[in-house]
Amino acid sequence: MVEKMNRIVVIGAICMLLISIPIGNNAIDPVMEGKGVVDHGKTLYVGGDGPNNYTSIQSAINDAKDGEDTVFVYDDSSPYYENIVIDKSINLIGENKDATVIEGKNDNVVHIKANNANITGFTIQSNRSPYAVIYLDHSDNTNLHSLIIQLAKKGIHLLHSNNVTLSNNIIYKCSYGIYNLFSNSTIIRENILKDNDHGVEISHSKYIQIENNNISKNNYAIFLDNSLNTSIKRNLIKSNNVHAIYLFSSKHSIITGNCIDGNKWGIIIDNALDLEGYALIQHNNISNNLVCGIEIDWSFGTKIVENNI
């Protein structure tokens, strides 16, 4: 049974004030502080005109010391046509995310197989290959920050990778912007996802945070499948062709403080049959959605509190 409490209370904020998403500038962003950061060792340079600089990113990665070194990539020699494997804990930093381009083909462009890797400051694309732009494979405590990711089957694909942070990225023109499978404690924060088929898909995962993102003009914005303890907070989810948020067989989800505007469906809760596994939908602005604002199908215990619908 659905508990409905004051469904049409105006919460006093419009979408543009409700959501504040920093977009960043063209200058290089520092590698994020905190978990997984490599903060000692030497810097290996790729491109540019230094006498000992590397000509390929992979060759610099191969020579970097695990857990110590940083690979810095100049934009002078961009684009870099290569597929990269990161199998050690390093920082990989591009000079300028708009001008430092990595383009791969016939495989994942960047395959991360190590823990504690940090990547920032690149445009990475695959010319519409059936693979991922960035594939995290059993990679824990990794940070992907300030990247432009485009033109692939999957923008960022996480598999059995935990405690990963995805922040301040722009992901577009992919079949799946972010695909999170069997990966826990992912933070998806302050990203722009647009013009994808699926914006964010979370499957068989738990403790996911999706916060302060702009997810617009996709077919499907956010889809949760058999996932647990997910929070979806303060996102702008606008003008998606099908649904904004779809939860299927997922438990203990919190959906709060979002602006959900101009989609076909707003929020769908489906097949949540566990009375103890409620979803909380609270303090959202839900407007101008074609079919409905909130739809509950074959589900129990959903709490709908103080939304502006």
Burial 153-169 (b: 16+ CB within 10 A, else e): bbbbbbeebbbbbbbbb
Q: What is the pLDDT of residues 27-39, one digit of tens each?
A: 444 444 445 556 6
Cβ–Cβ under 8 Å, residues 70 and 90: yes
The answer, as to whether pTM is greater than 0.85, is yes
What is the rounded distance in angstroms from the CA atom of residue 84 to the CA atom of residue 124? 11
What would the two tokens of residue 224 be? 């949760």
What is the rounded distance in angstroms from the CA atom of residue 242 to the CA atom of residue 81? 36
Domain 1-21+190-309 fold: Pectate Lyase C-like (2.160.20)
> Tell me, what's the pLDDT at 17?
47
> Tell me, what's the pLDDT at 5?
36
**Which parts of 160-252 are beta strand (E)?**
165-167, 170-181, 187-189, 192-194, 198-203, 206-211, 214-216, 220-225, 228-233, 236-238, 243-248
pLDDT at 25 over 50: no
> Tell me, what's the pLDDT at 275?
65
Residue where the block lists tokens 């059993």: 138
Bridge partners, residue 232, by sequence:
210, 255
- Numbered ranges of CATH 2.160.20.10 in the chain: 1-21+190-309, 31-153+160-170
Mean pLDDT of 125-138: 93
> Tell me, what's the pLDDT at 2?
38
> Tell me, what's the pLDDT at 127?
79
Q: What is the pLDDT of residues 249-293, one digit of tens each?
A: 999 999 999 999 999 999 999 998 776 778 999 999 999 999 999
- Of all residues in the chain, the percent with pLDDT exceeding 90 is 82
Q: What is the pLDDT of residues 55-67, one digit of tens each?
A: 999 999 999 999 9
Q: What is the pLDDT of residues 211-247, one digit of tens each?
A: 999 999 999 999 999 999 999 999 999 999 999 999 9
> Long-range pairs for 269-272 at CB < 8 Å and ≥24 separation?
269/294, 269/295, 269/296, 269/297, 269/299, 269/302, 270/246, 270/297, 270/298, 270/299, 271/297, 271/298, 271/299, 272/247, 272/298, 272/299, 272/300, 272/301, 272/302
> Tell me, what's the pLDDT at 45?
98
| CATH number assigned to the domain with residue range 31-153+160-170, chosen from the 4 options 2.160.20.10, 3.40.50.300, 1.10.150.20, 3.30.365.10 | 2.160.20.10
Q: Give the chain's mean pLDDT.
A: 90
What is the rounded distance in angstroms from the CA atom of residue 221 to the CA atom of residue 251? 19
Mean pLDDT of 65-70: 98
One-letter amino acid of 147? L
